[in-house]
Chain A
Amino acid sequence: MAMPLESPISFTNVGKIRWWQRGIFASQTGYVLLALAVLLVIMHFASPYFFSQGNMQNVAKNFSFIAIATLGITFVIITGGIDLSVGSMMCFSAMITSMVMTELSAPGSPLVHMAADGKTVLANVPGLILLISILAGLGVALIAGLVNGFCIAVLGLSPFVTTLGMLSIVRGLGYVVSNGRGSFPGGPDADYFYALTSGDVLGVPSPFIYLMILALAMAVVLHHTSFGRHVFALGGNEKAAELTGIPVVRVKIEVYVICALAAGLQGIIVSGWLGSAPANMATSYELNVIAAAVIGGANLAGGIGGPLGAIVGCVLLEVIRNGLVLAQVSSYWQQTLVGVIIILAVLVDRVRSRMT
Chain B
Amino acid sequence: MTKADATPVLELTGIGKEFGAIRALHDVDLQVWPGEVVGLMGDNGAGKSTLVKIIAGNFRPTHGEMRFAGSEVHFNRPVDARAVGIEVVYQDLALADNLTAAANVFLGRELKRRFGPIALLDHKAMASRALELFGELRSETRPDDLVRQMSGGQRQAVAIARTRLSNARLVMMDEPTAAISVRQVEQVLGLIHRLKEQGVAVMLISHRMPDVFAVCDRVVVMRRGEKRADKSIHQTSPEEVTALITGAKEAA
Co-assembled chains A and B: yes
Q: For B125, what are the chain A residues with a Cβ–Cβ distance below 8 Å?
A: none
Q: For B119, what are the chain A residues with a Cβ–Cβ distance below 8 Å?
A: 225-226
Interface string of A225-245 (1 = CB under 8 A from B): 110011011011101110111
Q: For A11, what are the chain B residues with a Cβ–Cβ distance below 8 Å?
A: 140, 142
Q: For B134, what are the chain A residues with a Cβ–Cβ distance below 8 Å?
A: 9
Pairwise interchain contact B107-A240, C-beta atoms closer than 8 A? yes
Closest to A14 in B: B140
Given the complex of chains A and B, what is the CA–CA distance between A309 and B134 in angstroms?
A: 33
Closest to A240 in B: B94
Closest to A2 in B: B132
- From A17, A223, A229, A237, B95 is in contact (CB under 8 Å) with A237
Q: For A5, what are the chain B residues with a Cβ–Cβ distance below 8 Å?
A: 132, 135-136
Q: For B123, what are the chain A residues with a Cβ–Cβ distance below 8 Å?
A: 224
A199 vs chain B, min Cβ distance (A):
30
Pairwise interchain contact B140-A1, C-beta atoms closer than 8 A? no
Indicate whether B20 reaches chain A with its CB closer than 8 angstroms. Answer: no
The secondary-structure label for the interface of chain A is loop
B149 vs chain A, min Cβ distance (A):
7
Interface string of A13-44 (1 = CB under 8 A from B): 11011000010000000000000000000000
State the total of A-B contacts with C-beta under 8 angstroms.
95
Given the complex of chains A and B, what is the CA–CA distance between A17 and B142 in angstroms?
A: 10
Pairwise interchain contact A303-B94, C-beta atoms closer than 8 A? no
Q: For B90, what are the chain A residues with a Cβ–Cβ distance below 8 Å?
A: 243
Indicate whether B103 reaches chain A with its CB closer than 8 angstroms. Answer: yes
Indicate whether B167 reaches chain A with its CB closer than 8 angstroms. Answer: yes
Quick one: given A5-B136, A245-B82, A246-B107, are A304 and B98 in contact (CB under 8 Å)? Answer: yes
Pairwise interchain contact A233-B140, C-beta atoms closer than 8 A? no
Given the complex of chains A and B, what is the CA–CA distance between A240 and B78 in angstroms?
A: 13
Indicate whether B177 reaches chain A with its CB closer than 8 angstroms. Answer: no
Tell me the residues in window 106-136 of chain B with beta carbons closer than 8 Å to chain A beta carbons. Answer: 107-110, 112, 118-121, 123, 131-132, 134-136
Indicate whether B185 reaches chain A with its CB closer than 8 angstroms. Answer: no
Indicate whether A3 reaches chain B with its CB closer than 8 angstroms. Answer: yes
Q: For A1, what are the chain B residues with a Cβ–Cβ distance below 8 Å?
A: 167, 198
Pairwise interchain contact B96-A303, C-beta atoms closer than 8 A? yes
Pairwise interchain contact A240-B95, C-beta atoms closer than 8 A? yes
Quick one: given A232-B99, A236-B97, A243-B90, are A17 and B140 in contact (CB under 8 Å)? Answer: no
Range class of the A interface residue count: 35 or more
Indicate whether B139 reaches chain A with its CB closer than 8 angstroms. Answer: yes
Give the size of the chain B interface in residues (CB under 8 angstroms). 41
Pairwise interchain contact A226-B79, C-beta atoms closer than 8 A? no
Given the complex of chains A and B, what is the CA–CA distance between A5 and B138 in angstroms?
A: 10
- From B112, B120, B136, A3 is in contact (CB under 8 Å) with B136
Q: For A236, what are the chain B residues with a Cβ–Cβ distance below 8 Å?
A: 96-99
Tell me the residues in window 47-99 of chain B with beta carbons closer than 8 Å to chain A beta carbons. Answer: 78-79, 82, 88, 90, 92-99
Pairwise interchain contact B135-A245, C-beta atoms closer than 8 A? no
Closest to A226 in B: B110
Given the complex of chains A and B, what is the CA–CA distance between A3 and B167 in angstroms?
A: 11
Indicate whether B141 reaches chain A with its CB closer than 8 angstroms. Answer: yes
Indicate whether A8 reaches chain B with its CB closer than 8 angstroms. Answer: yes
Q: For A235, what are the chain B residues with a Cβ–Cβ distance below 8 Å?
A: 98
Q: For A12, what are the chain B residues with a Cβ–Cβ distance below 8 Å?
A: 140
Pairwise interchain contact B198-A229, C-beta atoms closer than 8 A? no
Q: For A303, what are the chain B residues with a Cβ–Cβ distance below 8 Å?
A: 96, 98
A221 vs chain B, min Cβ distance (A):
10
Indicate whether B145 reaches chain A with its CB closer than 8 angstroms. Answer: yes
Given the complex of chains A and B, what is the CA–CA distance between A244 and B87 in angstroms?
A: 10
B160 vs chain A, min Cβ distance (A):
14
Tell me the residues in window 160-176 of chain B with beta carbons closer than 8 Å to chain A beta carbons. Answer: 162, 167
Given the complex of chains A and B, what is the CA–CA distance between A280 and B10 in angstroms?
A: 65
Quick one: given A13-B140, A246-B107, are A224 and B121 in contact (CB under 8 Å)? Answer: yes
Q: For A223, what are the chain B residues with a Cβ–Cβ distance below 8 Å?
A: 121
Interface-centre pick from B79, B134, B140 (highest chain A CB count, 10 A): B140
Given the complex of chains A and B, what is the CA–CA distance between A240 and B90 in angstroms?
A: 9
A193 vs chain B, min Cβ distance (A):
30
B164 vs chain A, min Cβ distance (A):
8
A14 vs chain B, min Cβ distance (A):
4
Pairwise interchain contact B108-A245, C-beta atoms closer than 8 A? yes
Given the complex of chains A and B, what is the CA–CA distance between A246 and B123 in angstroms?
A: 18
Pairwise interchain contact B142-A16, C-beta atoms closer than 8 A? yes
Q: For B92, what are the chain A residues with a Cβ–Cβ distance below 8 Å?
A: 239
Q: For A224, what are the chain B residues with a Cβ–Cβ distance below 8 Å?
A: 120-121, 123
Tell me the residues in window 283-305 of chain A with beta carbons closer than 8 Å to chain B beta carbons. Answer: 303-304
Can you report 11 A-B residue pairs in the complex whose CB atoms are below 8 A from each other? A8-B135, A13-B140, A14-B141, A14-B142, A14-B154, A229-B121, A240-B95, A240-B107, A244-B94, A244-B162, A304-B98
Q: Which residues of A contact B (CB under 8 A)?
A: 1-3, 5, 8-14, 16-17, 22, 220, 223-226, 229-230, 232-233, 235-237, 239-241, 243-246, 303-304
Other than the known A10-B140, A246-B107, what 8 A-B pairs have Cβ atoms closer than 8 Å?
A1-B198, A9-B139, A14-B142, A16-B142, A229-B110, A232-B96, A239-B94, A240-B95
> Nearest 3 pairs between A and B by C-beta?
A236-B96, A303-B98, A240-B94
